[in-house]
Structure 1
Amino acid sequence: MSDETTLASLVKRIEVLEAEADIRRLQARYMFLCDTPCPEFAVGDDAHRIDLIMALYAKDAVWEGVGEYYDNQFGHAEGHDAIREHFNTFWGEERAPALLLNAHYLTSEQIYVDGDNATGQWIHMQPWLFSDGTSLLRSSRLNNSFRKTDSGWKITRTRTENVFIAPLPATFASHYPSASVLMGS
């Protein structure tokens, strides 16, 4: 193997490793921004949070719930406007009961990079607590797609499929913050 071939091979391997790391951070940032209360410092309202989430998506992206449980619950949103509207249903004054707590835990990661495109699979679990005291534990499989753009990697598809939903005892969490200060000074 020539030095040029060896160098080219190493460069390609480094590019894949960097892409995987970028995609891992992108997926984690998406989940971080979706947590409630939002842990991103200085995010004053849900419109700002949604703007930050939308910056992670390609303009032609798709967000969809699939499978026998999520088809009717989450549906299919294509493009920035439709995905933004999807997120508007999770937060804001019109949501009743209000979502007080939601935290995403990711596991079982698999990322596959093919040039400027990639896919990633995860399982995630999240507890939900609502203002009326109801609560649940939700688990989903994620099968997402990504594309490298001039401004970095973007999400091109979020596809989520229910694994299970389990009711939790009313107000299962006795202590939780009304706002996050994690990213403060």
Structure 2
Amino acid sequence: MNAGSSERLVVDTLTRYLALCDVPVRTEGELGDLFTEDAVWEGGGSEYTEKFGRTEGREAIVEMLSAYLPPAPHFLTNVHLLFPGVVYVKGITARGSWKMQQLSRYESGAAEVMVAKLDVTFRIGPDRPRISAFRTERLFSAPLTGE
């Protein structure tokens, strides 16, 4: 794989991850395949460090994320929009940073718009890049009103 194709595949992996976290779109089982066995998922900044903490290992990450996804009663609808970012590839490791917007309507009926910074490290394997470290930090949020 050359650096250009690795960068594209890294973005494809992150985009697929965010799509699998959208509601109502979700494919069971595929979420875990996007992470390495020893992956780390963590919240950063004062708000997300407290809310999400640090989760280690593929199975634990999928279990944590599943608490927010159907059939768990959390989101009625949820969509992630990924903005262009930067990706650096060095050997079998790639690191990237992106801004992401999330629009959510919760089971409670409340709705919000949120922007976060994503810092993600990938391990590039023979079949695809997998997330080995995922860090999200909330930068902005505001309630949405109206229908």
Alignment of 1:66 with 2:53, yes or no, is no
Work out which of the residue numbers 63, 67, 70 in structure 2 matches 1:89. 67
CA shift, 1:94, in A, is: 4.5
Partner in structure 1 of residue 22 of structure 2: 35
Looking at structure 2, the residues matched to 160 and 32 of structure 1 have their Cα atoms a distance apart, in angstroms, of 16
Work out the percentage of aligned pairs sharing the same amino acid.
31
Looking at structure 2, the residues matched to 19 and 54 of structure 1 have their Cα atoms a distance apart, in angstroms, of 20
Looking at structure 1, the residues matched to 70 and 11 of structure 2 have their Cα atoms a distance apart, in angstroms, of 28
Partner in structure 2 of residue 17 of structure 1: 4
1:51-130 equivalences in 2 (<5 Å): 51-95=29-73, 98-130=74-106
Work out which of the residue numbers 107, 131, 134 in structure 2 matches 1:155. 131
* Residue pair 2:21, 2:69 contacting (<8 A) in 1 also: no
Runs (5+) with no aligned partner, structure 2: none
Give me the TM-score of the superposition, normalised by structure 1. Answer: 0.75
Looking at structure 2, the residues matched to 108 and 150 of structure 1 have their Cα atoms a distance apart, in angstroms, of 25
CA shift, 1:67, in A, is: 0.7
Partner in structure 2 of residue 139 of structure 1: 115
Alignment of 1:165 with 2:141, yes or no, is yes
Runs (5+) with no aligned partner, structure 1: 1-13, 175-185
Give me the TM-score of the superposition, normalised by structure 2. Answer: 0.93
Q: Which has the higher helix share?
A: 1
* TM superposition outliers: structure 1 runs of 4+ over 6 Å: none
Number of matched residues? 147
Letter in 2 for 1:62: V
Q: Quick check: which has more Rg, 1 or 2?
A: 1
* Residue pair 2:117, 2:139 contacting (<8 A) in 1 also: yes
